[in-house]
Amino acid sequence: AVHCIGVALAARGEARIALAGGGTPRPLHRRLAESPWVDAVDWSGVHVFWGDERCVPPDDPASNYRMARETLLDHIPLDPSAIHRIAGELPAKEAAAAYAEQLGDAPLDLVLLGLGGDGHTASIFPDTPIRAASDQAVLVTRSPVAPAGRVTLGLGPINGARTVAFLALGPGKARTVARVLAEFGTETPALPAARVHPASGELHWFLDGESAAELGDVRRELEGR
Ligand code: 6PG
């Protein structure tokens, strides 16, 4: 993350990053907010976006914005105007339109993504219409797990990013990581996370021993791709 931000700042004077929701990013955020990492970044050029948000107010315990504020944003010198949260307190369609406006067309420099057990990422779920997920930069979806209302980046801004990094840790993710990576690069992947395939950007998976435990021969296959 520090490297991506530094490369973007050097090249364009600004770094546009999209944070992931859920619980996995917490330790990463905390690390970024501590020395030496917090001092390694010129935060004045960083713009923070989100991959997705739950349709709840920003102080709701389920809010991805609230999680990021508590673990990162309150601890780094970011100008409030550089924090582009998805307005979860608004009606979803309104929040999505406002966010698409804020996001604009410029590529994101870094998109952090989590992975759900059903193969979802951001808030693109297995039953999210693929046409909508592919054609809309920002879309409204429904999660099978409360809070149901979601606003999410579509595959366009994700696959248009300069770097995409999945964070998937722990034994609970092992089966899904293996399924997603087995589908990666195939014609019509069933799992949304397998449709993350940056057009020209880099794709990284940050796993631990437990979440990588079922990779087995998939790892060898991937090395061949
Ligand atoms: C969300 C996230 C979602 C999350 C995965 C993994 O809003 O819930 O964007 O895509 O990243 O569900 O969640 P955990 O990190 O909590 O396992």
Counting atoms of ligand 1 from 1, which one is nearest the CA of 24?
Answer: 15
Predicted local distance difference test score (pLDDT) of residue 38: 95
Closest C-alpha residue for ligand 1 atom 15: 24
Distance CA 160, CA 147 (A): 28
Predicted local distance difference test score (pLDDT) of residue 218: 80
Predicted local distance difference test score (pLDDT) of residue 112: 98
Predicted local distance difference test score (pLDDT) of residue 219: 78
Predicted local distance difference test score (pLDDT) of residue 223: 73
Comparing CA positions, the residue from 127, 138, 182, 191 lying closest to residue 160 is: 138
H helices, E strands: number in the chain: 9, 8
Cβ atoms of 18 and 154 within 8 Å: the answer is no
Counting atoms of ligand 1 from 1, which one is nearest the CA of 173?
Answer: 17
> Distance from the CA of 72 to the center of ligand 1, in angstroms?
17
> Distance from the CA of 168 to the center of ligand 1, in angstroms?
9
Closest C-alpha residue for ligand 1 atom 12: 116
Predicted local distance difference test score (pLDDT) of residue 225: 63
> Distance from the CA of 6 to the center of ligand 1, in angstroms?
26
Counting atoms of ligand 1 from 1, which one is nearest the CA of 52?
Answer: 9
Predicted local distance difference test score (pLDDT) of residue 216: 86
Query: 3-class secondary structure for 9-41?
Result: HHHHCCEEEEECCCCCHHHHHHHHCCCCHHHHC
Q: What value, to the nearest 5°, has the Cα angle with vertex 84 and ends 68 and 193?
A: 65
**pLDDT string in tens for the chain (225-residue length):** 999 999 999 999 999 999 999 999 999 999 999 999 999 999 999 999 999 999 999 999 999 999 999 999 999 999 999 999 999 999 999 999 999 999 999 999 999 999 999 999 999 999 999 999 999 999 999 999 999 999 999 999 999 999 999 999 999 999 999 999 999 989 999 999 999 999 999 999 999 999 999 998 787 777 766
Q: Which two tokens stand for residue 221?
A: 């296959």
Distance CA 137, CA 105 (A): 9
Q: Which two tokens stand for residue 73?
A: 């944003």
Residues with CB under 6 A from ligand 1: 20-24, 51-52, 64, 114-116, 120-123
Predicted local distance difference test score (pLDDT) of residue 52: 98
Closest C-alpha residue for ligand 1 atom 7: 21
In a mutational test of the pocket of ligand 1, which residue from 50, 66, 123, 139 has the highest number of ligand atoms less than 8 Å from its CB?
Answer: 123
